[in-house]
Amino acid sequence: MSLRFTEQDMQNIEVICQRYPDKKAATLPTLHFAQKKFGYISEDAVKAVAAVLNLPVAHVLGVATFYTMYNKKPVGKYHIQVCTNISCALMGSREIFQHLRQKLGIASGETTEDKLFTLQEVECLGSCGTAPTIQINEKYFESMTVEKIDELVESLKKGEIDV
C-alpha cells in the first residue's frame, strides 16, 4: 500500500468518526475525505481507508464501488456531472449533455487531453425541483440551459471562477 494518511489526516478522520456510532458508519465520509486527498478512490486508497478505520478491505471496496460519487479513476480539474434522469431530461438535460460532448470532444467518463474537464452522465442528483441540474466538483448548478453551461465552461477555462 503506497498511499498513506498523515498524522493530521488521522486526526481529521478521528473527528469524522466521532460523529458516528461506530467506524463502519463512518465509511462514506472517510472515503469522501480520501477522494479529496488522493483525487480518486484507487485500490490503494481503499486499503488506506480500511486500515485507518480498522475494517475489512472488502467492506470498504463494496461501499466505494456501490456509490457513483466515488471516482474509480483520475478525473480532470473540473468534473462535470450531468443528470439525465427523468425530471432533468424533461427539462432539456440530454441536449445539454450532447452539447457538452461536442464542445469538449469527449464521451461520458472521459477526460479532455488538457486534463481540465471530465464529463459524466449521472443519475438523479437529488435536486429535481430545479432541473436540469449539473454538478461540477462539489457545487450544484441548477435550472441549466445550453447557454448557461457554455458561459460556465468558458469562465472555468479562463479561470474566472472556481468550484
> In which element (H, E) is residue 83 found?
strand 78-83
Smallest distance, ligand FES to C-beta of residue 26, A = 27
**Which C-beta is closer to ligand FES: that of 45 or that of 149?**
149
Q: Report the site for ligand FES in 76-95 (rule: CB under 6 A).
A: 83, 85-88
Least Å from the CB of residue 162 to ligand FES:
23
Choose between 3 and 124: whose C-beta lies nearer to ligand FES: 124
d(CA 159, CA 161): 5
Q: Which three cell numbers stand for residue 9?
A: 489526516
Binders in 108-147 for ligand FES, by CB under 6 A: 124-128, 131, 133
Give dist(CA 4, CA 27) in Å, integer: 16
Strand 117-122 and strand 139-141: the pairing is unpaired
> CA dihedral defined by 31, 61, 133, 85, rounded to 10 degrees?
-160
Q: Which three cell numbers stand for residue 128?
A: 429535481
Nearest residue (CB) to ligand FES, 46 versus 134: 134
**Looking only at residues 6 through 45 of this chain, which bind ligand FES when binding is defined by CB under 6 A?**
none
Tell me how far, at minimum, the Cβ of 67 lies from ligand FES, in Å: 16
Given the rule CB under 6 A, which residues bind ligand FES?
A: 83, 85-88, 124-128, 131, 133
